[in-house]
Structure 1
Amino acid sequence: MGTGCRTRYPIVLVHGLLGFVRLPGHSYWNGIDTALRRQGAEVYPVRLSGVHDNEALGAQLLERIAAIRTASGARRVNLLGHSQGGLSARYAAALRPDWVASVTTVATPNQGSEVADRLRDLLPPSGRRERLLARGFEGLARLMERLECAERGLSLPLDGAASLLALTSEGMAGFNARYPQGLPERWGGEGAGEVDGVRYYSWSGILQTRIDAAPGLDPGHVLCHQLARCFAREAGQNDGLVGRFSSHLGWVIRSDYPFDHLDVVNRCWGRRVGAVRPLGVFLEHLVRLAEAGL
């Protein structure tokens, strides 16, 4: 095991919407956690509710951080959150900055997702169609929970309707007013790199216009292309679910990697994503955190 990239504090990986740690034959982080450990990092992928609002997920994350602090003896942790997981991490850092050394959001809709906005337009609040969609998401999340190989038997609360609202531009405007740490002051800019002793970083990708593999080989990539049609403000500047500039937080490492929303966590299904590899981006960030004394 390498030690040259060992961080001072443990790495906590936080999944996004409909996330998990490990299903039979498949890991959410698809080798990222293993690769970080090989470099000497202490890594904890955590499981939160599959669908819920940002505050509820953040409160669950705080409970996980408390347990990790006890188990590891570390005073603080480095949070890396994919998609909605980045919002859970932001909440945790805002409430307990003394527990968090850094927050890194990866393809996170820090200003809301135009896909969620489109769904909200099509599904009026408390309407029948919204209830059906919410129940469908909750059912899928509960099924995945039963298949979960990590922490078997752990049942967490679900709220599909709250999850949808939390990811809209409107929902994120309220969230950002309460927890503004690291947000840019202008659209497309960078935010403060450090707030209350917590370092803030972000990165994301842009969906490539060419599907360079047969659709059946990477259904997630095809889905991202379909969802990209929901974008107007960031048309052509999104990963299929999150806009490039909406993802900006703190020090923006890069927001135009050639990754779709699933590529960014190494789920490329064997498809080429360019010279830059998602796993390499995580390993570079591990060095960055270590060099910063985090």
Structure 2
Amino acid sequence: MALETCIAFLLADSYDVEDFLFFKKNANRKRRKIRKKLKTEPSDNLQIEDDKRDVFNAVLQSLTISDFKSHFQLTPSQTEDLVRLLAPCEWTAIREERWTVWHAVLASLWALSTQESYHSVANRFHITESLICDQLDEFCTFVSSHLANEIHWPQEEEAEMSVVGFFSNVGLPDTLCVVGTCFIPCEKPIDVPDPEAYKDPKGSYSVKLMAFCNHKGRFTYVSAEHPRNWPNSRILSATELGKALQEDPMALLHGKHIIGNSTFALSEHFLTPFPDYATLGQKKCAITRKCSHLLQWRKAPSIL
């Protein structure tokens, strides 16, 4: 009623009372027609969307683990764990009928992994672009706020399990974590001392992500705030973990060590491959092969 009053006020100079009564009657007739159409068509539209989603679900179930991971960056079991952890959250963007937390997580993972447009992801998952946008925002918020403690440095039993896992997989004793780096594209940074430090030779900007993972490839520490052109040793020393490693390595590692590539500085607690100068002894060659195998096996830069 308020809307009709506003319309009448705005059109007062052009319409007299009789004209407005006709306008109001015609508007009500159109409104009833739209309501009737919405009552009859949604069932057909919903059925079509349900059929599309059933087909999509069937395709998901037919994917191999490797194919599933290539699309969502997680295995089916890891995705199930993520859904279980996020299910209790107050999702407001998925109140649409037959749209579940499972679908919201999959769509969000797909959007983040493939960087497809909202339009493309919406068509793929048979929902609206606005829903993709809203639920992706909620997904990122829930992950950052509710799952912050899921990434933690291994202690006690977890640490021992990681050591055993690395030894059984590659034969390196007392290995606690492996570290790798990769680049994350970004816009030109502002409010930083040297924006050009984030720039690559092609003119694109990115930050360098440095992450540590255990024997299962799960994150134990992540840093993604430093320029891409900083060397790894400098980034490591600027992180909280790097500072703890310098101040009290025994408290952090308990006599264990970390594996990294040759861009990191070799130390008592940080093991890197020896340079292959054809002068290495048998023992150093063996260590270098195992370190290289571990970094390749874990694919440290690409799994992060």
TM-score by length of 1: 0.26
Question: Which structure shows the bigger proportion of residues in helix conformation?
Answer: 2
Q: What TM-score do you get using the length of structure 2 for normalisation?
A: 0.25
For CA contacts below 8 A with separation 6 or more, give which structure has more relative contact order: 1
Which structure is larger by alpha-carbon Rg, 1 or 2? 2
